[in-house]
A and B are shown apart, each in its own frame.
Chain A
């Protein structure tokens, strides 16, 4: 436990991983992941996986709420795949690191008997993954399973495309 001294009162330092574990990411910890940004509400995990840090991506049909590319505005795996296909991604077999290929993994969980997309993570050059956690921080994590759990469910689909020359 780290302590932050404010005046003469010692208070426990906010533990990002404790908070995230309580929030439904039980596998995330300081040995398999690291915070890489401050919390920001401007973009979400789908936007972050797609390389956009200015918009919140979600297939809401009502205009004036969220951004969604030219793809079906449905909360289905197929619609999310179609959204990433607009960026040049195509389905691939797994999340194994491949030279020159940038990969994205989609997560989903069962909701009333239907598989609903919940999260996306993008593979980094070194083979690790990067996730934006809702309105919270970006984290780098070693494996796709590090953010699996009650909040996001399980990884269900991988997509890949030739890696762009620069990465955010």
Chain B
């Protein structure tokens, strides 16, 4: 019984038969309803492999908390490093923080989109990073330099590509 309980509590959380596990763990008086449920649950656990949740691959990359924290720190560092510079070369290519964001690879893309979304109608210069990390440039030439328009093109592209932010 102990083994069954252990298996139940570690594997049933996602299986949809949590009510049976609750009955077993709580030790409440069996009712006609849960007397039927208990053997089904145990049989399921002992005789069948636990349900497998398929990870979703593709463009959608879920950032973990550690990446989110690292990214937030790098954004803060970047703001400090660039100072009053107007030079894109200086504030991006010579910024170790911006380069570190690039070094995070494709998992930085949804983080950048989230950050850019949070910046509302005053988006920052994320377009170089987005280009390098995705390999595309959805911005038409006539919108170059207009960050609000550029951000809209990137959000449209990212939504079509399946990114979630």
A-side residues, CB < 8 A to B, are 20, 23-25, 40-42, 44-47, 54-58, 60, 62-68, 75, 116-119, 132-136, 151-152
Contacts and interface: CB of A to CB of B under 8 A. Distances in A.
A60 B144 CA distance: 10
B56 interface: no
**Which of B82, B86, B89, B127 gathers most chain A CB within 10 Å?**
B86
Contacts of B139: 63-64
| Secondary structure call for the A interface | loop
Given A56-B147, A136-B84, 20 more contacts: A45-B86, A56-B88, A57-B145, A58-B87, A58-B89, A63-B139, A63-B144, A64-B131, A64-B138, A64-B144, A64-B150, A65-B125, A65-B128, A67-B144, A67-B145, A68-B144, A75-B89, A118-B87, A135-B82, A135-B124
Contacts of B127: 64-65
| Secondary structure call for the B interface | loop
A23 B131 contact: no
B84 A23 contact: yes
7 contacts: A41-B122, A56-B88, A56-B125, A64-B138, A65-B144, A66-B88, A134-B86
Interface residues of B, number: 29
Given A42-B122, A55-B146, A63-B137, A134 B82 contact: yes
Interface of B: 79, 82-91, 119, 122-125, 127-128, 131, 137-139, 141, 144-148, 150
A134 B84 contact: yes
B83 A24 contact: yes
A118 B88 contact: no
